[in-house]
Chains A and B, each alone.
Chain A
């Protein structure tokens, strides 16, 4: 497949990908913390390059509510948000998942207030990790674009029918011009295909009720059927990703395994810091240090069995979280990864890094590897460590 090499910001790349899915409706709050992703999309619509109906609303709560109404009516629907905007959506984010509506959302990961900060961390999406959405994470503009193409096929698959958020790092990816390959419009459309809603609000032949009162009698059963969808999601994610690899040559799974085959030490993380770590891992590899990286792509569903298998037998594992869980046992990725490793004799320690956009640099990546070496040699380290903070 002939693909065009372009330089786009992450926001532009995601806007293009969503345009290629020819969505019927985009509902969005048009003011900050909304990002250029929706700005770019509105430009497509204004220029007549997209027939998507834009519904601009007065808050993110309304944006998600409008997206839910639209998706329930059977329209292919997306929205985009970031930071405090996602926090304001909170109540209705759960409803989108509970109603099994395959909405796609661009999630530009940025810090929450206070104090006021506009930069990257994962606190926003992590706050909604139990709301029932599928969370795909992206390292760069290429992966943001690719995830935004695949998201539709995953969300709309009849075994899944769940909303998907495509996470990419605020500013570091969203506002950085990066080289990436894009599919031609017709090839992307052929891959994504037309959306056929199984049930719609507007079909008098097949009337349905959406979101009724559901008390002690059936609520639990409905939640149980919702849980079952996450069991089926991994196989569909892999199937869609394999088809995407056949088309583009870019292969995706639940995670990217970087130099893991013989790695004695492994770093586990999400998002843009993976690239920085890869450069440092290469330097250590030249010195004969057997270190590798596991960059998680699917945080929800969380691939616990996969992680247990891939990380099993290593001498030391560490997990880097770009969000804090105040009063908890480390960041969310750490607690879940270590829980997945339960019963294995592999030491797992964690880091909190990069809050509020604090630069994750080559030195920090090197510090992580030096600490892994100490642990692998039998040394001790605290469960939770801080990186790049002034103490």
Chain B
């Protein structure tokens, strides 16, 4: 069961859209015939406070409803969380864990900061991309675009199709176009160690 399942943990600050991304991805993979489960960790909800989100993706229905302790992929939307032991970015990770970090730093710098031996670290300036494409520092969707550069759970076109379908009723065309552009750019601009 766990062998076929991808488990993703999101680390972010309130307001960066990690909850939306964690749940959006769970829905987007349905188009591919996969099953998804997405949930945030709820607490005192404050803009700027550290928070975590979780996404499971599997070829078979997902039955477990517990936190993700040993994520295969860790996505960090706010690089200041790397300096906070309480954020627990490396908790439960191993040398097979893939890290995706929103930062202007190089993967080697982040890798050193994380201190996890052998883990694959990728970086992308998702906030910069979001500012240029969406006009707001919301790095969630660019990070999903970057994720698809290291995992083939969805193609870029499938992701963008799901985004248009899910967000059309909630956001203006300008916002959607900005997100689509952000996804493309982050997917291309991801830097790997």
Contact with A along B33-66 (1 / 0, CB 8 A): 0011111101000000000000000000111111
Instruction: Count residues of chain A with CB under 8 A from any CB of chain B.
Output: 28
Distance (Å) between the CB of B30 and the closest chain A CB?
6
Cβ contacts under 8 Å, B64 to chain A: 275-276, 278-279, 362
Q: Mark B1-32, 1 if CB is under 8 A from A, else 0.
A: 11000000000000000000001001100100
Contact B66 A362 (CB under 8 A): yes
B67 within 8 A of A: yes
Contact with A along B69-81 (1 / 0, CB 8 A): 1000000000000
Is the CB–CB distance between B42 and A119 below 8 Å?
yes
Q: Are B36 and A7 in contact (CB under 8 A)?
A: yes
Complex Cα–Cα for A360 and B67 (A): 8
Taking a contact as CB atoms closer than 8 A, the residue among A173, A275, A361 that contacts B63 in the complex is A275
CA distance A7 to B66 in the complex (A): 18
Within 8 A of B (CB), among A107-145: 118-119, 140
> Does A272 lie within 8 Å of B65, measured CB to CB?
yes
Question: Hey, which chain B residues are within 8 Å of A40, CB to CB?
Answer: none
Which of B1, B30, B36, B66 meets A360, CB within 8 Å? B66
CA–CA, A275 and B37, complex, Å: 13
Q: How far is the CB of A335 from chain B (nearest CB, A)?
A: 25
Interface residue range, chain B: 20 to 34
- Mark each residue of chain A from 349 to 391: 1 if its CB lies under 8 Å from any CB of chain B, else 0: 0000000000111100000000000000000000000000000
Q: B27 to A171, Cβ gap below 8 A?
A: no
Q: Which of A267-284 contact B (CB under 8 A)?
A: 272-276, 278-279, 282
Q: Is the CB of A176 within 8 A of B42?
A: no
Of A5, A119, A276, which is within 8 A of B65 by CB? Answer: A276
Q: Is the CB of B67 within 8 A of A5?
A: no
Give the residues in chain A near B37, CB-CB below 8 Å. 176-179
A317 at the interface (CB under 8 A from B): no
Q: Within the assembled complex, what's the spacing in Å between the Cα atoms of A309 and B65?
A: 29
Nearest B-chain residue to A7, judged by Cβ: B27
What per-residue 1/0 map shows which CB atoms of B172-187 lie under 8 Å from chain A? Answer: 0000000000000000
Minimum Cβ distance to chain A for residue B86 (Å): 18
Q: How far is the CB of A120 from chain B (nearest CB, A)?
A: 10
Q: A140 near B36 (CB under 8 angstroms)? A: no
Q: How far is the CA of A176 from the CA of B64 in the complex (A)?
A: 12
The answer to whether B67 and A176 touch across the interface, beta carbons within 8 angstroms, is no
Is B30 within 8 A of A7, CB to CB?
A: yes
Q: Chain B residues with Cβ under 8 A from A172's Cβ?
A: 39, 65
The docked-state distance in angstroms from the alpha carbon of A79 to that of B55 is 31
Nearest B residue to A363 by beta-carbon distance?
B69
Q: With A177-B23, A178-B37 in contact, do A279 and B69 touch (Cβ < 8 Å)? A: no
Q: How far does the alpha carbon of A76 sit from the alpha carbon of B27 in the complex, in Å?
A: 32
A245 in the interface (beta carbon within 8 A): no
| Chain B residue at minimal CB-CB distance from A283 | B1
In angstroms, Cα B61 to Cα A278, docked, is 12
Q: Which residues of A contact B66 (CB under 8 A)?
A: 276, 359-362
C-beta contact mask, A2-34 vs B, less than 8 Å → 1, else 0?
000111010000000000000000000000000
The residue among B1, B30, B64 with the most chain A CB atoms within 10 A of its own CB is B64
- Whether the pair B63, A276 counts as a contact (CB closer than 8 A) is yes
B58: nearest residue on chain A (CB-CB)? A179
User: Is A39 interfacial (CB-CB < 8 Å)?
Assistant: no
Closest CB in chain B relative to A82 CB, distance in Å: 13
11 contacts between A and B (CB under 8 A): A7-B26, A7-B27, A140-B65, A172-B65, A176-B65, A177-B37, A178-B37, A179-B36, A276-B64, A276-B66, A359-B66
Task: Using A179-B62, A275-B63 as known contacts, list a sample of 19 further A-B pairs with CB atoms less than 8 Å apart, ordered by residue number in A.
Answer: A5-B30, A169-B65, A171-B39, A173-B65, A175-B39, A177-B37, A178-B37, A178-B62, A179-B26, A179-B30, A272-B65, A275-B62, A275-B65, A276-B65, A276-B66, A279-B63, A359-B66, A360-B66, A361-B69
